[in-house]
């Protein structure tokens, strides 16, 4: 079930974090993880009409981006999760969310690491 949901994350980025969290515990799955997976399936049933919209004729090719980070969001290893999303006009073209490689000691350090990932992605899009 988790593998099927991982396949869906290409078109449903809103479930990415939850699916990846369940995938981390796939080797030692507990009933609480199974309940979470079933809840994700119920969520998908309720949101079948939602999805990406890419208009044919876009008037703007301006790159707009957002980034976020949560300071020590993972309770297991105290690592922060950071993510970015970039739009060209009104269309989402790039996004990611992942745990940071290093443990940040301060919120400013955490934000700086997330900002670095964001700037690298925007510079790549501009090329």
Q: What is the pLDDT of residue 74?
A: 64
Q: What is the pLDDT of residue 73?
A: 62
On whether both 40 and 76 belong to a single domain, the answer is no
Q: What is the pLDDT of residue 47?
A: 82
On whether both 68 and 118 belong to a single domain, the answer is yes
Q: Is 23 within 8 Å of 8 (Cβ atoms)? A: no
Q: Is 99 within 8 Å of 106 (Cβ atoms)? A: no
On whether both 36 and 78 belong to a single domain, the answer is no
Number of domains in the chain: 2
Torsion sign (Cα): 65, 9, 18, 72: negative
On whether both 121 and 67 belong to a single domain, the answer is yes
> Does any domain span residue 52?
no
Domain encompassing residue 94: 63-126
Low-confidence winner among 5-9, 50-54, 65-69, 86-90 (lowest mean pLDDT): 50-54
Q: Taking Cα atoms as reference points, which of 127, 65, 78 lies closest to residue 104?
A: 78
> Does any domain span residue 55?
no
Q: What is the pLDDT of residue 4?
A: 79
> Does any domain span residue 81?
yes
Q: What is the pLDDT of residue 46?
A: 86
Mean pLDDT across 91-96: 79
On whether both 41 and 68 belong to a single domain, the answer is no
Question: pLDDT for 15-56, tens place per residue?
Answer: 777 777 788 777 777 888 788 888 888 988 888 777 666 777
> Does any domain span residue 74?
yes
pTM, two decimals, is 0.57
> Does any domain span residue 73?
yes
**In angstroms, rounded to a whole number, what is the distance separating the alpha carbons of residues 98 and 2?**
18
On whether both 80 and 117 belong to a single domain, the answer is yes
End-to-end alpha-carbon separation of the chain, Å? 38
């Amino acid at each position: 079930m988790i593998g099927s949901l991982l396949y869906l994350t290409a078109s449903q980025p809103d479930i990415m974090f939850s699916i990846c969290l369940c995938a981390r515990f796939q080797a030692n799955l507990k009933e609480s993880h199974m309940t979470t997976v079933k809840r994700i399936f119920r969520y998908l049933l309720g949101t079948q009409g939602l999805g990406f919209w890419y208009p044919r004729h876009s008037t703007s090719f301006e790159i707009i981006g957002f980034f976020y980070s949560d300071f020590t969001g993972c309770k297991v290893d105290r690592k922060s999760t950071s993510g970015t999303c970039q739009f060209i006009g009104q269309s989402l073209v790039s996004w990611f969310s992942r745990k940071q490689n290093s443990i940040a000691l301060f919120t400013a350090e955490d934000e700086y690491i997330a900002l670095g990932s964001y700037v690298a992605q925007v510079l790549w899009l501009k090329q």
